[in-house]
Amino acid sequence: MKTKRSIEKATEFINNKLEKNPKIALILGSGLGQLSKDIKKQINIRYGDIPDFPISTAPGHAGHLTIGELEGKQVIVMNGRFHLYEGYDLESIAFPIRILKKLGVKILILTNAAGGINRTFNPGDLMVITDHLNMTGWNPLIGPNDESLGPRFPDMGKLYNPDLINHLNNIASSLNIPLKQGIYAWMTGPSFETPAEIDMIRIMHGDAVGMSTVPEAITAHHCGIKVVGISCISNMAAGVLDQSITEEEVFEIAKHVYSDFSALIRRFLKELFPKKTGEY
């Protein structure tokens, strides 16, 4: 069990390696990890060196933290996340998010590779997440609640922060990057979804589907971190097109969309905080 003491130990270990504490965190999805190479004055910490921290086993997830400066902002990047399909429980998936909170993170940018369900989408599109569908029946807040982390029954009405979504839309418009809007559906994986499952999610107004992001978003919102999410539509989901879905396709599309993704994130960070208030 990831106890309060486990969170404190891991936070202390990371804190001892930092000169400045980051206010912004990014979790980079499949094929998007190269953004961390652009971070200046970077410190890298392997997940395996952090007390009680999980280890990434998913393909394309490097398994280390990168802390430093990107577009004038102090950031911490998770190069690799954790999934139910790897055999991790939700407590382990929530653990890094709670450490980010203890480190002083105020804003979490979640990214992922997702299958497109909305028939107006195409592989290579970027989609800002406006809401989600939890199709798993699981929630990272199940179990005893620590009131120091967040309330027993958190409201989820504005989980994906409207101000940050507006900011992202404005940045995309200024860069002439088409940015879709949509609802992300979370499935456990590791098998891709069936055509019948995709039809079900479409009926429920889901626009994209993937195997991550939702438990991290719920955990972050629970502990007071503002959340914004971006999906890279790496393929069309089962039944949308008459073709097979492969892991290789996911990574190939992520390479093609990386230029727009990087430009969007960098400008988003550069212009993040309004001058008058200094924060959202």
pLDDT at position 60 is 67
Is residue 276 situated within a structural domain? no
Is residue 222 situated within a structural domain? yes
146-169 pLDDT, tens per residue? Answer: 999 999 999 999 999 999 999 999
82-124 pLDDT, tens per residue? Answer: 999 999 999 999 999 999 999 999 999 999 999 999 999 999 9
Tally of residues, the chain: 280
Is residue 16 situated within a structural domain? yes
- For residue 196, the enclosing domain spans 4-141+158-270
207-253 pLDDT, tens per residue? Answer: 999 999 999 999 999 999 999 999 999 888 876 765 666 666 666 77
**Lowest-confidence pick of 34-38, 145-149, 162-166, 199-203:** 34-38
Cα 211 to Cα 134: distance, rounded to the nearest angstrom: 10
Is residue 152 situated within a structural domain? no
CATH number at residue 105: 3.40.50.1580
pLDDT at position 87 is 94
pLDDT at position 249 is 66
Sign of the torsion formed by the C-alpha atoms of 179, 185, 191 and 192: negative
Q: How many domains does the chain have?
A: 1
Is residue 18 situated within a structural domain? yes
Is residue 278 situated within a structural domain? no
**pTM (global) more than 0.85:** yes
Q: Which residues are marked as active site?
A: 30, 61, 83, 85-86, 113, 211-212, 235, 256
Is residue 60 situated within a structural domain? yes
Is residue 218 situated within a structural domain? yes
